[in-house]
Amino acid sequence: ACCTANTSLEAHKDQSYLYNFNWNHCGVMPPKCKRHFIQDTCLYECSPNLGPWIQQADSSWRKERILHVPLCREDCEEWWQDCRDALTCKENWHKGWNWATGTNRCPWGSECRPFHRVFPRPQDLCEKIWSGSFSFSPERRGSGRCIQMWFDPARGNPNVAVARHYA
């Protein structure tokens, strides 16, 4: 699907109605880290090239999900590097939050720790944070074998060829 201006705008908010998800659950998330989550939200909500990885999901809040999207090595490594000192209390952000206030809070008894302690390697971050939505690809950007979260739209969308390859 392609994004409306409104969806794009909402993806950039700290407390978006898209998921009512709070990025700042362990203090303020640094902008250099948050930009990867914004880009991830835009990819998920707006990319027309994730078809090969869409699966049915039986949950109250969604009917389908993406699974094992091969994320380019650099995208994963940069995401991890930019977030390594940010704080989180959970490895899997899809489930297990305390939603009592209507927004996600750390589960009772959990502690906020740096990303690099929760996710020791870039692969851990990319594969675990959204319960397997992404897989860490050894392939590099421009290979035509992995999905890029970051690219210059003026030079075309490299993910079109990747989706075609895996279709």
- How is the chain split into domains, by residue range? 5-166
The reported pLDDT for the residue numbered 61 is 63
pLDDT score of 1: 45
Residue 37's pLDDT is: 92
The answer to whether the CB of 106 falls within 8 A of the CB of 90 is yes
> Using 50, 70 and 90 to split pLDDT, how confident is the model at 10?
low
Got the DSSP string for 107-142? Answer: PTT---EEHHHHSSSHHHHHHHTTTTSEEE-SPPTT
Residue 134, token pair as written in the block: 């992404």
pLDDT of residue 57: 78
Q: What is the pLDDT of residues 42-96, one digit of tens each?
A: 888 778 899 899 888 777 666 788 899 999 999 999 999 999 999 999 999 999 9
* Structure confidence at residue 84 (pLDDT): 98
Amino acid code (one letter) for 28: V
Q: What was the pLDDT predicted at 41?
A: 85
> Distance (Å, rounded) from C-alpha 136 to C-alpha 17?
29
pLDDT reading at 15 higher than 60 = no
pLDDT of residue 63: 76
Q: What is the pLDDT of residues 101-140, one digit of tens each?
A: 988 999 999 999 999 999 999 999 999 999 999 999 999 9
What are the CB-based long-range contacts (under 8 Å, 24+) for 101-110? 102/20, 103/15, 103/20, 103/21, 103/22, 104/20, 104/21, 104/22, 104/25, 105/22, 105/25, 106/25, 106/26
- The whole model's pTM is what? 0.86
pLDDT score at 159 = 95
Question: Other CB atoms closer than 10 Å to residue 116's CB: what's the count?
Answer: 17
Strands 62-66 and 54-59: antiparallel
